[in-house]
Amino acid sequence: MANINRFNSVFIGLCLLLGLVSLGYQLGESAIRYKEYERQVTVKGLSEREYKADIVIWPIQFTVADNNLSSLYQTIEASTGKIRAFLEDAGLNADEISFTGPSIIDKSAQQYGGQAQALFRYTATQTVTVYSKNIDVVRGVMGNISVLGKQGIVFNGNDYSYQTEYIFTRLNEIKPEMIEEATKKAREVAEKFASDSKSTLGKIRTASQGQFSISARDKNNPHIKKVRVVSTVSYYLSD
């Protein structure tokens, strides 16, 4: 009976020992695999393209000066009519041209003691705005605006609040293709890194898409827009 009990104890002990060895081996293998999966590389992929703007907003601002208010308004109306006719003759539609009410300053109401008398009592600023999708026509008109200057219209060209704007509206159309390109370039970089380090590129660990940016290609071609996006991707590496 004592021999049987001793045998059972030895058997149970061996089973426990084998179980602990097996558990230790499995834990060791898991740790190795975990360490392998911890190895990673983070890369960036850039997609950058150029597109022509879709819309141009061109504010044309001019100034009129006079000592007679009635005469001032007549000059404003005449100059506005000349600008409208000039734009329509160049190929722009009437619904692409809009006008604001003139801003008039009475300098006699602003005179303070000791200041010289102004040459003209009234000055007025009028803005004609072109909102068009026909970029080429508008840019062509811009190059010929001096024709109206020769007719006595005084344009304001230094007011930064009335600068020409070029707008690109098709971002949603090109987003999927550019994101795909940025991700593909990121993988190419990761594969090169893995090859150089004698590793194998695994699955994606994390991925993030940067914001799209739209800017003028250069200061001389603001109607050409540069669109760019950067994707950041982390991949697992293994031997």
Annotate 87-156 with three-state secondary structure.
Answer: HHHCCCCHHHEEECCCEEEEHHHHCCCCCCCCCCCEEEEEEEEEEECCHHHHHHHHCCCHHHHCCCCEEC
Domains of the chain, by residue range, sit at: 1-38, 40-54+169-239, 55-167
Are 232 and 207 contacting, i.e. CB atoms less than 8 angstroms apart? yes
Instruction: Give the gyration radius of the chain's Cα atoms.
Output: 37
Judged against a pLDDT cut of 70, whether residue 70 lies above it is answered with: yes
pLDDT of residue 156: 86
Query: What is the pTM assigned to this prediction?
Result: 0.75
The domain defined by 40-54+169-239 folds into Translation Initiation Factor IF3 (3.30.110)
Mean of all residue pLDDT scores within the chain: 84
- Most distant CA atoms of the chain, gap in Å: 133
State the fold for domain 55-167.
Alpha-Beta Plaits (3.30.70)
The pLDDT tens digits for 179-237 are 999 999 999 999 999 898 888 898 889 999 889 999 999 999 999 999 999 999 999 98
pLDDT digits over 125-171, tens only? 999 999 999 999 999 999 899 999 999 999 987 666 678 999 999 99
Q: 43 is written with which tokens?
A: 């890369």
Residue type, 23: L
Residue 27 reports pLDDT greater than 50: no
CA-closest candidate to residue 187, choices 55, 58, 41, 84: 41
Residue 25 has pLDDT above 70, yes or no: no
Instruction: For residue 35, name the pLDDT band (cuts at 50, 70, 90).
Output: very low
